[in-house]
């Protein structure tokens, strides 16, 4: 994977993570938190899709890999909601 592919992956993960944060109502954290949420959300979302035998929706090809945009957004929203539930809802302002 080249540097350009890695930068594209980080940018798409940041967008997916920030959309997931907005859906779950979480307002803390900046760009790095959004990137982390997008990447963790992609792992959680694709795991859920595999377990439920759901198709890969809107997968963006970055070099040799595919990044599942829809599952990353859904997974990050679920992950943020779970973290917000564990922390007692302190992520809202």
5/21 Cα distance (integer angstroms): 24
pTM (2 d.p.): 0.82
**Do the beta carbons of residue 38 and residue 46 sit within 8 Å?**
no
pLDDT tens digits for 29-77? 788 888 888 888 888 888 898 899 988 888 888 888 888 889 889 999 9
What value, to the nearest 5°, has the Cα angle with vertex 45 and ends 39 and 47? 105
All structural domains of the chain with their residue ranges:
3-86
**What is the reported pLDDT for 51?**
92
């Amino acid at each position: 994977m080249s540097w350009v592919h890695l930068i594209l992956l980080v940018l798409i993960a940041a967008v997916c993570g920030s959309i997931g944060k907005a859906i779950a109502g979480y307002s803390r954290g900046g760009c790095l938190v959004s990137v982390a949420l997008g990447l963790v959300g992609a792992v959680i979302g694709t795991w859920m899709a595999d377990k439920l035998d759901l198709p890969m929706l809107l997968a963006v090809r970055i070099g040799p890999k595919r990044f599942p945009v829809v599952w990353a957004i859904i997974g990050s929203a679920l992950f943020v909601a779970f973290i917000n539930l564990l922390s007692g809802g302190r992520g809202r302002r």
